[in-house]
């Protein structure tokens, strides 16, 4: 697989992380570079390591995760999204958001949910007899860059949306979960 093909693949894989990062940028208050770096790093490391894990387990692991990976991703994103929507409707203007995208527990859920597709890509890499150094570095780097850009885009739009930002973020997370579910149920 060429470097160009790996870059295209990495951009495609990073789109779920991009959407989660936009949402995180919208609701992150206060917006700090350290928080943005933590979010982007979690998403990038998971996105880059999942193909490596898939590659290591190869064909044996595929049959165990393939049947339910999309349901796990959907459930995590749906629950997080519903919590955001509920809080968006129930909070007053002065109360802070209870959905904190910088919390390690939240980041772990988001990172796993957005990187399950990358695990499947890694399983397919096992059949290509290729080195995993370049794919791992490229996927991690591209996801980190896309996530940082998305966090700042979310910050920009969050200032303008203000009161509906949390509700919009919840809807985006649920839509990502639905997209993952539909892709796996109908297009594989």
Position 5 confidence tier, pLDDT thresholds 50, 70, 90: confident
Distance (Å, whole) CA 93 – CA 45: 35
Average pLDDT over residues 134-138: 94
Q: Which residue has the higher pLDDT, 186 or 146?
A: 146
Answer yes or no: are the C-beta atoms of 139 and 13 closer than 8 Å: yes
Six token digits for residue 176:
């990502």
- Other beta carbons less than 10 A from residue 101's beta carbon: 26
Model pTM score:
0.73
Q: Residue 156's pLDDT is what?
A: 87
Answer yes or no: are the C-beta atoms of 54 and 126 closer than 8 Å: yes
Q: Residue 66's pLDDT is what?
A: 67
Distance (Å, whole) CA 157 – CA 75: 27
17-73 pLDDT, tens per residue? 888 898 899 888 888 999 999 999 999 999 999 999 988 877 565 566 667 777 877
Q: Residue 84's pLDDT is what?
A: 67
Answer yes or no: are the C-beta atoms of 170 and 82 closer than 8 Å: yes
Answer yes or no: are the C-beta atoms of 184 and 51 closer than 8 Å: no
Q: Residue 16's pLDDT is what?
A: 84
Enclosing domain of residue 148: 3-186
Q: What percent of the chain has pLDDT over 70?
A: 82
140-168 pLDDT, tens per residue? 999 999 999 999 998 888 766 655 666 77
**Three-state helix/strand/coil letters over 135-167:** HHHHHHHHHHHHHHHHHHHHHHHHHHHHHHHHH
Q: Residue 37's pLDDT is what?
A: 96
How far is CA 53 from its chain centroid? 17
165-176 pLDDT, tens per residue? 667 767 877 887
Our count of domains for the chain comes to 1
Distance (Å, whole) CA 57 – CA 60: 6
Six token digits for residue 76:
């995590």
Q: Residue 159's pLDDT is what?
A: 67
Q: Which residue has the higher pLDDT, 99 or 24?
A: 24
Q: Given a cut of 70, is residue 93 above it in pLDDT? A: no
Which residues have C-beta within 8 Å of that of residue 72, sequence separation ≥ 6? 112, 113, 116
Distance (Å, whole) CA 172 – CA 111: 15
Report DSSP state, residue 130: -
Average pLDDT over residues 90-111: 74
Distance (Å, whole) CA 6 – CA 12: 10
């Amino acid at each position: 697989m060429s470097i160009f093909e790996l870059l295209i693949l990495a951009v495609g894989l990073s789109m779920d992380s991009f959407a989660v990062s936009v949402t995180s940028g919208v609701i992150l208050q206060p917006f700090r570079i350290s928080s943005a770096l933590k979010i982007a790093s979690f998403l990038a490391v998971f996105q880059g390591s999942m193909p490596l894990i898939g590659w290591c387990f190869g064909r044996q692991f595929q049959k165990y995760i393939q049947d339910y990976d999309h349901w796990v991703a959907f459930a995590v994103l749906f629950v997080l999204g519903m919590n955001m929507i509920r809080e968006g409707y129930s909070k007053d203007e002065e109360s802070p958001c209870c959905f904190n995208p910088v919390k390690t527990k939240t980041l772990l859920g988001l990172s796993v949910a957005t990187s399950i597709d990358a695990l499947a890509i890694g399983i397919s890499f096992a059949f290509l007899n290729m080195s995993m150094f370049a794919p791992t570095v490229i996927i991690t780097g591209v996801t980190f860059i896309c996530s940082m850009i998305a966090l700042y885009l979310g910050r920009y739009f969050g200032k303008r949306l203000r009161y509906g930002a949390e509700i919009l973020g919840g809807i985006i997370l649920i839509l990502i979960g639905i997209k993952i579910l539909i892709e796996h149920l109908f297009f594989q």
